[in-house]
Amino acid sequence: MPQPSEIFERVLPPRAVPAGLPMVVLMTGFTDAGGAVAGLINRFRDDGTADVLGRFSNDVLLDYRARRPIVTFVRDHLTEYRPPRLELSLAHDVLGQQFLLLSGYEPDFAWEAFADVVLNLAAEHRVSGVTWVHAIGMPVPHTRPIGVTVSGNRDDLIASLSVWQPETQVPATAGHLLEYRLAENGTSIAGLVLLVPHYLADTEYPGAMLVALEKMTAATGLVFATDPIVEANRDFLVKVEEQIADNDELQRMISALEVRYDAYRAGQFHEMERGEYTSETLLDGAPLPSADELAAELERFLANRPGDEDKGAPGLG
């Protein structure tokens, strides 16, 4: 197993960090529906308010062939080499409240060693709690609020925020391992799983970022600026509605998802009917579309619609 010194290199000394801060974990990787986590990482890095405390070693944790670094080629030479980054930073919210931010790619290798380093950092800084965010695609309509499933040991958040509490097995992420290990040692930990409409999972969906920030505030007490994201989401949804409005099949699909969502939320998912709709079928009795079927239909619609490229319509593939 790699040694901690091989995985994590400090940039600032520990004494530069106040004790007792919350830690927020944002890692892209296996699932990031709507680009929620990637969008948040870019937002925190671009606003210039985070000071890097330490960096994790790409040579130990990263599969370069799966996530190739970016190079810039100008006429006849390379001007920039930009590898992915996984780093621990000291950030602050709009009120000046500080927090630790672990952000970047999900490690490809050495998960257990990585988890040991993160747990040691959390103990060293005596963090008040850890909150991590990821997003998955679900058969829910964009016309309803994005829900969240909460995992961990924050009973208060589970009771107040979690809209779906399944019993299932899913492929693990490095974030799951961190949560599991932190819960084992008694650290306050909350995993926030955003339930994003499956047909928007491959887009950059500003609404997913908005909900992530809202739930992060509920979990940590931190406050984040959202005005630019609210405006971007409003424009995004207008374009989505324009694209759906002229397609009867898409409208029926969305309506079927709305019926199933409303039935589930009402606790009447078994054989609920509204007019000719049921919770499991469309108007003609056909089964609800899968994520792939709905995404494919949206792609076909966009490909056949003239002028969308000129209008800058969002891709829904």
Report whether 191 contacts 151 (CB < 8 A).
Answer: yes
d(CA 94, CA 116): 31
> Into how many domains does the chain fold?
2
CB 52 within 8 A of CB 12: yes
Q: What is the pLDDT of residue 260?
A: 85
* Residue 133 resides in a domain: yes
Q: Is residue 62 located within the same domain as residue 155?
A: yes
pLDDT at 278: 40
The pLDDT confidence band at residue 293, using thresholds 50, 70 and 90, is low
For 282, the token pair is: 């469309």
Residue 127: give the domain boundaries: 4-224
Does residue 10 sit in the same domain as residue 158? yes
Residue 283: which pLDDT band, with cuts at 50, 70 and 90? very low
Neighbours of 189 (CB within 10 A): 26
Confirm whether 266 is domain-assigned. Answer: yes
Structure tokens at 72: 């810039």
Say if residues 98 and 21 touch (Cβ distance below 8 Å). yes
What would you report as the CA-atom Rg of the chain, rounded to the nearest whole angstrom?
Answer: 21
Domain end, chosen from 191, 224, 257, is at: 224
pLDDT at 268 (0 to 100): 41
CA proximity to 125, closest of 42, 10, 48, 2: 10
The reply to whether 235 falls in a domain is: no
Answer yes or no: is pLDDT of 300 > 80.
Answer: no
pLDDT tens string 3-35: 888 999 999 887 789 999 999 999 998 889 999
Residue 116: predicted pLDDT: 97
Q: Give the C-alpha separation, 34 to 27, whole Å.
A: 14
Query: Do 90 and 183 fall within a single domain?
Result: yes
- Domain CATH code at residue 141: 3.40.50.10900
Residues 101 and 65 in one domain: yes
Q: Kindly state whether residue 268 falls inside one of the protein's structural domains.
A: yes
Residue 238 lies in a domain: no
pLDDT band for position 70 (cuts 50, 70, 90): very high
Query: Does any domain span residue 147?
Result: yes
- 230 domain-assigned: no
- For residue 308, pLDDT beyond 60: no
> What is the residue-averaged pLDDT of the chain?
86
Both tokens of 266, joined, read: 């009402």
pLDDT tens column, 267-280: 644 433 343 334 34
Tell me: pLDDT of 289 over 80.
Answer: no
Helices and strands in the chain: count of H runs, count of E runs: 11, 12
Residues contacting 50, CB < 8 A, separation 6+: 44, 89, 90, 91, 101
Same domain, 295 and 150: no
Say yes or no: 140 and 269 in one domain. Answer: no
State whether 293 and 173 are in the same domain.
Answer: no
Q: Contact 93/99 with Cβ under 8 angstroms?
A: yes
Distance separating alpha carbons of residues 282 and 270, to the nearest angstrom: 15
In this structure, the answer to whether residues 213 and 251 fall within a common structural domain is no
CB-based contacts of 249: which residues, under 8 Å, 6+ apart? Answer: 297
In a domain, 256, yes or no: yes
Buried b (16+ CB within 10 A) or exposed e, 135-151: bbbbbbbbeeebbbbbb
Judge if 307 and 218 occupy the same domain.
no
Instruction: Please state, in angstroms and rounded to a whole number, the distance separating the CA atoms of residues 179 and 185.
Output: 10
Do 96 and 168 lie in a common domain? yes
Using the 3D structure, point to which of 224, 255, 281 is the last residue of a domain.
Answer: 224
149 pLDDT above the threshold of 70: yes
pLDDT of residue 72: 97
Q: Six-digit token pair at 308?
A: 């969308």
DSSP state, residue 90: E
C-alpha to C-alpha distance for 224 and 92, rounded to whole angstroms: 9
Q: Are residues 142 and 283 in the same domain?
A: no
Q: Residues 263, 159: one domain?
A: no
Predicted confidence (pLDDT) at residue 241 exceeds the cutoff of 50: yes
**Domain final residue pick, 166, 190, 224:** 224
pLDDT (tens digit, 9 = 90+) per residue, 194-236? 999 998 999 999 999 999 999 999 999 999 999 999 999 999 9
Q: Which of 11-15, 134-138, 193-197, 256-260 has the lowest mean pLDDT?
A: 11-15
